[in-house]
Amino acid sequence: MPMRKVNIISGILLLAISILFWNDAAGIRPPAHIYPKTIIAIVAFLSIALLIQAIFFPKAVAQTRPFAGIKYKRVLLTIFSSIIYYYALKVIGFYVSSFFFIIILTWLLGEREVGVKVFARLGTLSIIVMTLIYLAFKVFLKVPTPTGIFF
């Protein structure tokens, strides 16, 4: 598939996802809505820019073969994990689901070994990241995160 077609499809998909997330973010109370809506707006803007470039400036699109050497199983597992994470946020809560999501996604995209040492290292990384996120959002910004059963 030519890169131009890939860019058009990607732009449309990202714009559709942005619209879905924008509608979902409508339920977030101010001032907590500022960050997610800003990120969604940036993704929508970049999606529109990609569409404009692909449609009106086809020579600006790289002519390389897209997705050469892609491991589709890894991509599908990442998408599936992200969908589960999205729904787990609402049920379990932000901190617990993000902790496990970081471990799973880091393992899927990087480490391929299975063992206590690998998951201990990934768990430590996840604890550090979640601590930094907690400090940034709860302590310094005083912005609520999605709550669930645990937090």
Higher pLDDT, 143 or 99: 99
pLDDT value of position 80:
94
Provide, rounded to the nearest whole percent, the portion of the chain with pLDDT above 90. 45
User: Residue 59: its pLDDT value, please?
Assistant: 79
Q: Average pLDDT in the 74-100 region?
A: 91
Give, in degrees to the nearest 5, the angle at Cα 131 between 115 and 75: 50
Q: Please tell me the pTM assigned to this model.
A: 0.65
The Cβ of residue 95 has, within 10 Å, a number of other Cβ atoms equal to 19
**DSSP-H helix ranges across the chain:** 3-25, 34-56, 72-91, 94-109, 116-134
Query: What tens digit of pLDDT does each residue of 42-51 get?
Result: 999 999 999 9
Give the per-residue pLDDT at 108: 87
Q: Is the peptide bond before 31 cis (omega within 30 degrees of 0)?
A: yes
